[in-house]
Amino acid sequence: MLQATQRTDGITQVALVGRLDVSGLHEVDIKFHGATAARAQPAIIDLTGLDYIASLGMGMLISCAQSLRRKGHSMVLVGAKGDVDTALRSAGIDQAIPMAPDVDEALRVLGKA
């Protein structure tokens, strides 16, 4: 599931919640691209409520982060915990997309704190 939060500071904030397995990803993929890459502004992706992600979901994050980068914007992942955090780091996602423990730190990474 995807939850977009309206912010007034020119930053997109989107939460991914639940399981990004094959059917979960099918449900959110287009919405996620629409809520992040298509908006062409810095993005914070809240993973606090994410229970499962595999390579397909990681590919979606990479693809959107690259799209934003081409438009001169950054994406920060926030709040990944437990097995989700382990899986993301195991695939080196943290080397490609900054990961922050909370939104305040993400804003600092984006230079908006």
Q: What residue ranges bind another protein (CB under 8 A)?
A: 21-23, 26, 52, 54-56, 58-60, 62-63, 65-66, 69, 82-83, 86-87, 90-92, 95-97
Burial class (CB in 10 A: 0-12, 13-18, 19+), 60: buried
Compute the least distance from the CB of residue 12 to another protein, in Å. Answer: 17
CB of 102 within 8 A of CB of 76?
no
Helix (H, G, I), strand (E, B) or coil at 28: helix
Shortest approach of another protein to residue 6 CB, angstroms? Answer: 27
Q: Give the nearest distance from C-beta 33 to another protein in angstroms.
A: 12
